[in-house]
Amino acid sequence: MRISIKWNFFVISFAFVASLLFINAIVSKQRESGCGKMMSKDTKNTWEEKILGTNFITNKIRVRDILTILPNPDPIVNNIKPNRGILMLNASVAKRYMTRRKDFAVLRDQQKVDPPTSKAIKLIENLDEAWNLPDFFFAPDREKFGSGDNDGCYRPPKRREKWGMIIVVKSDVVNVDVRNAIRESWGSVSKIDEVSLEVVFLLAKAHSEQVQSKISTESDQYGDILQINLKESTGIYPDRSIAGMQWAVKHFPPNYLFTTVDESIAVNLGTVVEYLSYHVRQMPEVNGRGCMTSNIFPFLCGLSFRQHDIVSRDPKYPWSLSPELYPPEFLPPHCQGAFYSTSVSTCQLIVDAAMTSVRIPNDAVWITGILRQKLGLGPNTITGENVMVEDGDVPMLSALSGEVPKQIRFHWKMHRPGLKLRKVLIRFR
């Protein structure tokens, strides 16, 4: 009887030890194949974990991170669901991404490959002489901020929920009805909770004296017109955009955010502020080593993030680029110009690089793609997160056509209920 008990104990002990060895072998095999790297606490410095983070603790992972690193995400991304403006994926779905070693191999290789702009010598070499920014016909009466304090490094406010933003609306000279609709709707909001907001309209010079006289009257009445001394045409878009950035650099603190938006975009301002607040909270403090790449506030694309658009060579197309000027077949990753955000500190870097660079007609490609890469800012300084998420049934951003003023007011009626639970200040004009 005693022998039987001892034998049973020996068998059970042997089985237990064997099972531990088997489990350990499986885990080791997973780590070698790459499947277990994200789950292991011993591999916190692996390349994948640096990019994606350890969000398995909450059983979720941000879609933004996956879209940023995967060049061609498959239809599985359709499983995304909005969560307070941040897109999330189920952990099981995310795991299938992380086990795709082929994709990770491609991504590692991409880190070693020079960006497309590096082959466009004429665009990345400095000019012998800097070009001059256009003067302003009209500009809001605002006290200047010391631009000497701006070294391009983003230093978050001590209280992350208390920040500010300058919104530059690109507007055609004749569209006074659109500007008035914005002033009566989302452009009337000067504060949401502890976030301060300011809106200006960026214009070129009118072709006729009659229209220019109306702009003068409009500027006197509202004080929100920022007009450059160049006549309106597609060719002056880069000058107009850089002039707007330079004005923001001179008049706002470096840790203010800078957003540029087309006048034909309906903005759900409450959701935009929530989305940008998330990124303000994520920015690291500047440590004793000085400004690192991680301290550069990224470009946050709005309506569209373009990763590898083919370059147009058609001379009839206004945004085409000749092979002599831009030899690569693909454009660098960039935002489309309808809506994108960054910080005033990043604007300082862009303006400095722009002044000694050859301009191209497409200002969004030039600023968020070519100049960004010329500065040596890598893929982590631009995000492909699609911010056209929905807050209930109300989109965050809507591209409008047709009767734009009427549609802006219509969208404002949908957006206002979302602000009822927030502390909101309205700018009376």
Q: Give the DSSP letter string of 190-252.
A: EEETTEEEEEEEEEEE-SSHHHHHHHHHHHHHHS-EEEEEEE--GGGHHHHHHHHHHHHHHHS
pLDDT category, 261, cuts 50, 70, 90? very high
Please tell me the predicted confidence (pLDDT) of residue 428.
60
CATH topology of domain 120-426: Spore Coat Polysaccharide Biosynthesis Protein SpsA; Chain A (3.90.550)
What is the per-residue pLDDT across 321-347, written as a single tens digit (0 to 9) for each? 999 999 999 999 999 999 999 999 999
Per the model's pLDDT, the better-predicted residue between 40 and 338 turns out to be: 338
pLDDT category, 62, cuts 50, 70, 90? very low
* Pick from 202-206, 270-274, 364-368: least confident: 270-274
pLDDT category, 296, cuts 50, 70, 90? very high
Q: What share of the chain is helix, strand, coil (3-state, %, to 5)?
A: 45, 20, 35
**Average pLDDT score over the chain:** 77
What is the per-residue pLDDT across 151-162, written as a single tens digit (0 to 9) for each? 889 999 989 999
pLDDT category, 55, cuts 50, 70, 90? very low
* Pick from 58-72, 182-196, 260-274, 308-322: least confident: 58-72
Task: Give Cβ neighbours of residue 18 (< 8 Å, ≥ 6 apart).
Answer: none
What is the per-residue pLDDT across 373-411, written as a single tens digit (0 to 9) for each? 999 888 889 986 554 444 455 678 889 988 999 999 999
* Pick from 163-172, 245-254, 295-304, 379-388: least confident: 379-388
Please tell me the predicted confidence (pLDDT) of residue 17.
63
At 80, list the tokens: 């995304």
List the chain domain ranges.
32-112, 120-426
Q: Can you tell me the mean pLDDT for 275-281?
A: 92
Residue 379: name the closest of 130, 106, 120 by CA. Answer: 106
pLDDT at 38 over 70: no
pLDDT at 175 over 90: yes
Rounded distance between C-alpha atoms, residue 280 and residue 31, angstroms: 34
DSSP 330: B
pLDDT category, 308, cuts 50, 70, 90? confident
What is the per-residue pLDDT across 92-144, written as a single tens digit (0 to 9) for each? 334 443 444 344 444 434 444 456 787 888 898 899 999 999 999 899 988 76
Sign of CA dihedral 16, 22, 24, 26: negative
pTM of the predicted model over 0.85:
no
Cβ atoms within 10 Å of 128's Cβ, excluding its own: 6
Q: Can you tell me the mean pLDDT for 246-271?
A: 95
Please tell me the predicted confidence (pLDDT) of residue 148.
53
Rounded distance between C-alpha atoms, residue 159 and residue 68, angstroms: 28
* Pick from 49-63, 221-235, 327-341, 343-357: least confident: 49-63
* Pick from 44-53, 89-98, 318-327: least confident: 44-53
φ and ψ of 115, to 5 deg: -65, 160
Residue 89: name the closest of 116, 62, 54, 56 by CA. Answer: 62
**Which 3 state secondary structure label does DSSP give 416?**
helix
Please tell me the predicted confidence (pLDDT) of residue 394.
66
* Pick from 175-184, 253-262, 293-302: least confident: 293-302
